[in-house]
Structure 1
């Protein structure tokens, strides 16, 4: 019973850590994107930043939709021009840096899971459950790792994911 209670406690801490990381990454993405949108004189910067923050919780697809909404807002006011390419590049770069570099590194470090396994788990859980799987991928990976680490017969397998 003690191992079970310990595992549940570790799972709770791990999920709290993940949510904390996700909120900070989403906030960082939204704030930097808002700064870029402001520099490009895009209307409704605060509303767009809130959309970016919320959509950032959906890995990859949310980023694509968030950038699409911001670009569409820009196009409605200014039309097609060379600046839209720079805006698209800047917003995409922010999404890549925060979502594909910083988040796997920070989550991997805080959850003791290799960033490679985090990326692999995104693909595997997407394949199994679609978008919901992508949203749940990192917490599920953390839970699996914790469960494996609390059994003497699977402890080595748990370390393989670190």
Structure 2
């Protein structure tokens, strides 16, 4: 019995290792497919609405993708114009940063009474070299080319949705109801998460953009979109986006008051989003605890980069639903969830434990 248990654990660990290798090495093919699945769930209601109007499925899907693409291209065009304007100001921003660094380091050297800190070694030019910029442009171009496959995946997945349902029914003919329930619940999680996060992203971008506009930030649309998009990466994204936004404000204003206000406001928006906006808009559809979310972000980032940091959160929600359907794995589903009830038995145990500790302290 013990050897069988050890064998099961060994199989489980081997599966995890080979699964991780497959996901990491096959990211070039798997990531666009997963994005396609997510967008297929998100666009399926729109395509269904056009089909109800007696529009052929292929045309209905094409119209849905075209409408979303037009919106995305419009936003992308607006952001590209702002990025081009910001790039034109990079030499001036670099000079300002170097001057402020030099001034601050001179003050520190005077305070310390030595020249221990060498400004030349901290020059921004060493960070903004041409090789790094070329690498970034190449990777961006590669990502954009890869993203062009996603609409094709989305179209085919929606078009053949009945085909996939029939495949599942044939594959699990002995338990159709359970499998269809799992597929429905998983689809609902993905659909609710995507639509909810889209609404949250829009709200955050409006709040951040309004603040940047009021304090006179020139490229307020770009920074608002950057903050809202990076907000999709919980815990990590807000710190990265806020750092660059506050740095730009610091370099383009003469007072330190504006950067401090920016930090406070952006932090306030983050608290508002985490505690009010997301619970109201997204609800508890994913129902995964913070520890599982953090691990999902780290593992997803290691395997698939930024895409993994975004995709792995709803994927963990789908995993939780799958584990709940299995009586043997339901405990792991509970481990991923955020429902932590305290039973009367546990409460009495902790009360007795605290009384015991208090009694030992009083006796000593």
TM-score of the pair, normalised by structure 1: 0.79
The aligned counterpart of 2:295 is 124
What is the rounded CA distance, in whole Å, between the counterparts of 2:229 and 2:198 in structure 1? Answer: 9
The aligned counterpart of 1:86 is 261
Q: Secondary structure at the match of 2:326?
A: coil
Q: Does 1:101 align with 2:272?
A: no
The aligned counterpart of 1:21 is 196
Which of 318, 322, 325 is the aligned partner of 1:150? Answer: 325
Higher relative contact order (CA 8 A, sep 6+): 1
The aligned counterpart of 2:313 is 138
Give the C-alpha shift of residue 129 in structure 1. Answer: 3.8
What is the rounded CA distance, in whole Å, between the counterparts of 2:278 and 2:330 in structure 1? Answer: 23
Which of 61, 66, 83 is the aligned partner of 2:241? Answer: 66
Give the C-alpha shift of residue 31 in structure 1. Answer: 0.8
TM-score of the pair, normalised by structure 2: 0.39
Give the C-alpha shift of residue 149 in structure 1. Answer: 2.8
Q: For this pair of structures, how many residues does the alignment match?
A: 157
Q: Which has the larger radius of gyration?
A: 2
Cα pair distance change 1:104/1:154, threshold 3 Å = farther
Gaps of 5+ in 2: 1-171, 340-364
What is the rounded CA distance, in whole Å, between the counterparts of 1:51 and 1:104 in structure 2? Answer: 18
Q: Secondary structure at the match of 1:41?
A: coil
Cα pair distance change 1:122/1:91, threshold 3 Å = same
What is the rounded CA distance, in whole Å, between the counterparts of 2:278 and 2:226 in structure 1? Answer: 22
